[in-house]
Amino acid sequence: MVLEVTATDQNGKVLFNEKRNYFEIGLDLDGDMRYGAWQIKELMDLSLQPKEVQREWFLLHFEPTTTEATIEVTLTYCLSGKKCDVIERVEETLSFYVD
Give the ranges where 1-99 is alpha helix by DSSP (H): 37-46
More confident residue, 32 or 3: 3
Q: How do residues 10-60 score in pLDDT, each as one tens digit?
A: 889 999 999 988 766 666 667 666 666 667 666 666 666 677 777 889 998
Give the per-residue pLDDT at 15. Answer: 94
> For residue 37, which amino acid is it?
A
| 88 pLDDT more than 80 | yes
The reported pTM is 0.70
Residue partners of 20: CB distance under 8 A and separation at least 6: 2, 3, 4, 56
Measured CA to CA, the distance from residue 76 to residue 6 in angstroms comes to: 14
Give the per-residue pLDDT at 78. Answer: 78
